[in-house]
Amino acid sequence: MDFIVYNKKLQYIMLADYTEAAVCHVDDLVDGELKEVRVGDTDVLLARADSQYYALYPKCSHYQGPLVKGLLNGHRLVCPWHNACFDIRNGHRLEAPALNGLPTHEVRIEGDQVFVRLTTDKESLENPMAAPDEANLETYVIVGGGGAGAFAAEGMREGGFTGKIVMFTESQEGPYDRPNCSKDYLQGKAPDEWMPLRSEEFYQDYGIEVRTNQHVTALDPTTKRIELASGETLTYNKALVCSGGKPNPLPNPGGDLKGVYLLRSLHDSQTLRELGQQGKRVVIIGSSFIGLEGAMSLRKLGSDVDVVGLEKVPFEKALGAKIGRVVQGWHEKEGIRFHLGRKVDHLEGDGAVNAVVLDNGERLSADFVLLGLGVKPRTEFLKDVTLEKDGGVRTDAHLQIFDDLYAAGDIAHYPVADGLHRIEHWKVAGQQGHVAGLNMAGKEELYEMAPFFWTNQQGKRINYVGHATQIEEIIYDGDPEKDDAFLALYVQNGQIKAAAGLKRDQDIIAIRELMQADRMPLPEAVRQGVKWVEMLKKA
């Protein structure tokens, strides 16, 4: 539709094009409902909350997940795939792992019809951020270039900070999509251009100096002084430590042979992809989530794969034995062999590894080995900061550990109702970084998000919310051994502390929203059957 606007003197001002359509009756949706509609040739997500209609881009800005299959809680729109969260009123991103918000469209009511007018064709929008100001001489430093660091830098600008931001990372690259390193990228299905979280131009525009290949050797919070391996020193006004984890080495004889690899970085993923495409024999030591995602991806590339693990069932401590056996079966159907309840005795090879010998004497031929033995917090450079037993640091509810010093991500022990948690998940790191960045800019945001992670095991995405350190009971909705979709709820100290689901995305979202609102039902009520989405809407 074309329209012409004239001023009072009847002078021509502009000629504009727009597309508008009636998409539904005013009573077609109730509060909390979502519907995908069509305006011209464009798909639009229609949402209703507080008796108001909103129109947005219909796909998540993270991985383009279908938002209509997500869940609306008040004004919070949550993606079904990885639980990114948006505000339907303005499209702003509220939670990681999405960096961008959602384009919005105009909505008007005429008579009993809801009309949507397309007002933008952008596929991504940044949250409003302050521009750098050379007159502001303050310097905020970020130690670590992972997800926490990336979200923190933007959080500082979103919070209104206009001074200098410097990010130090040991990586050869700026912040990138690390979870993809064990999934599509390792399989060769994701091109290099997908991996950076932001472009170099973005960081330049917002005055965020990303310094790669930088090793921080010391950070003294009393003098606010940082030392680099190069000998350079820098003082800061405020700093965030989000240095991530240091992979655990293999202590056994032969662990230092050539051909023993980690899967921690983009470079690691590139190296392993090249090896996997050659159809080599690989032994993966460790049956962790990353270890089995690596096994899946290397097998898809054509490698011959053996997995060695201490647990008798993969993921038994995290997901329970029943789900662990099911996941193991998915991998075995694809030709992956398991050697569980076993330890590595030593690695053999003349300069380069050619075999892994187990504690029962079994010898597994190997052209290369992938270690998946977990990580420890990388905090050895911190001076005069009390460390927890595992090497992490304790924060307050605002993620502060010392005057003008904050922490986020894998190293942070943050307070919860029943103690402290330290969570090694991508979404957690990103959201903690964002909250820390806002607080460094002068906000007073509490970090209160229920933990969430996802894993891709042979093309099946399992979503997990909450945190259970000891599983006392598992309440199942659906049978993991028989059903295509299921929900598992983990009981600890008489409360449901976590849940895992396959193809139960809306239920997982509802459970996470209930956890964050401290409105989870007791196990007795859950055993009788719960409709989670309905419970959330009534809460």
Domain CATH code at residue 413: 3.50.50.60
- CATH code at 508? 3.30.390.30
Q: 485 pairs with which residues across the strands?
A: none
The 3-class secondary structure across 350-396, one letter per residue, is CCEEEEEEECCCCEEECCEEEECCCEEECCCCECCCCECCCCCEECC
d(CA 317, CA 314): 8
Would you say residue 392 lies in a domain?
yes
CB of 524 within 8 A of CB of 499? no
Q: What sign has the CA pseudo-torsion 527, 532, 534, 537?
A: positive
Phi, psi of 530 (to 5 degrees): -135, 135
Q: What is the chain's Cα-based Rg?
A: 25
Would you say residue 447 lies in a domain?
no
pLDDT digits (tens, 9 = 90+) for 47-88: 999 999 999 999 999 999 999 999 999 999 999 999 999 999
Q: 281 pairs with which residues across the strands?
A: 304
pLDDT digits (tens, 9 = 90+) for 226-263: 999 999 999 999 999 999 999 999 999 999 999 999 99
Would you say residue 251 lies in a domain?
no
Which stretch of DSSP H or E encloses residue 516?
Answer: helix 505-516
Nearest to 379 by CA among 360, 401, 403, 353: 401
Q: Quote the pLDDT of residue 124.
A: 57
Residues 525, 481 share a domain: yes
- For helices 266-276 and 289-301, give the axis angle rounded to 10 degrees: 40
> Of 373, 396, 426, which residue constitutes the final position of a domain?
373
Look at the pTM and tell me if it is higher than 0.85.
yes
Phi, psi of 201 (to 5 degrees): -65, -35
Residues 382, 394 share a domain: yes
> Of 84, 117, 150, which residue constitutes the final position of a domain?
117
Binning pLDDT at 50, 70 and 90, where does residue 120 land? low
Residues 383, 364 share a domain: no
Q: Which two tokens stand for residue 471?
A: 């599983």
Would you say residue 98 lies in a domain?
yes
Q: Which two tokens stand for residue 527?
A: 């055993």
Q: Quote the pLDDT of residue 5.
A: 37
> Residue 2: is its pLDDT beyond 50?
no
> Residue 3: is its pLDDT beyond 90?
no
CB of 142 within 8 A of CB of 244? no
Residues 499, 470 share a domain: yes
Would you say residue 483 lies in a domain?
yes
CB of 54 within 8 A of CB of 88? yes
Residues 388, 341 share a domain: no
Residues 366, 305 share a domain: yes
Q: Quote the pLDDT of residue 538.
A: 86
First-residue to last-residue Cα distance in the chain: 44
CB of 452 within 8 A of CB of 325? no
Residues 392, 365 share a domain: no
Q: How far is CA 160 from CA 36, 101, 156, 346, 405, in A?
A: 35, 18, 7, 54, 18
Would you say residue 531 lies in a domain?
yes
Residues 237, 383 share a domain: yes
Q: What is the three-class DSSP state of 515?
A: helix
Nearest to 39 by CA among 101, 110, 104, 126: 104
d(CA 212, CA 520): 44
Supply the mean pLDDT for the chain. Answer: 95
Residues 212, 298 share a domain: no
Binning pLDDT at 50, 70 and 90, where does residue 18 land? confident
Q: What is the three-class DSSP state of 105?
A: strand
Residues 324, 300 share a domain: yes
pLDDT digits (tens, 9 = 90+) for 408-449: 999 999 999 989 999 999 999 999 999 999 999 999 999 999
Binning pLDDT at 50, 70 and 90, where does residue 8 land? very low
- CATH code at 97? 2.102.10.10
Nearest to 283 by CA among 199, 354, 206, 376: 354
Residues 156, 57 share a domain: no
Which is more confident, 4 or 327? 327
Q: Quote the pLDDT of residue 372.
A: 95
Task: Count Cβ neighbours within 10 Å for each residue of 25-38 and write b for 16 or more, e otherwise.
Answer: eeebbeebebbebe
521: region left, alpha or beta (phi > 0 left; psi from -120 to 50 alpha): beta
d(CA 40, CA 13): 26
Would you say residue 452 lies in a domain?
no
Q: Which two tokens stand for residue 346?
A: 């030593």
Domain count, the chain: 4
Q: Quote the pLDDT of residue 11.
A: 35
Q: Quote the pLDDT of residue 283.
A: 98
Would you say residue 215 lies in a domain?
yes
pLDDT digits (tens, 9 = 90+) for 467-523: 999 999 999 999 999 999 999 999 999 999 999 999 999 999 999 999 999 999 999
> Of 329, 350, 373, which residue constitutes the final position of a domain?
373
Residues 67, 71, 76, 77: what is their CA dihedral angle, to the nearest 10 degrees?
0
Distance of CA 528 to the CA centre of its chain: 33
Domain containing residue 493:
459-538
Binning pLDDT at 50, 70 and 90, where does residue 13 land? very low
Average of pLDDT values for 134-145? Answer: 98
Residues 388, 486 share a domain: no
Supply the DSSP symbol for 180.
G
Q: Quote the pLDDT of residue 6.
A: 34
| Amino acid type, 341 | G
Q: How far is CA 358 from CA 98, 308, 338, in A?
A: 42, 9, 12
> Residue 7: is its pLDDT beyond 90?
no
Q: 457 pairs with which residues across the strands?
A: 460
CB of 117 within 8 A of CB of 20? yes
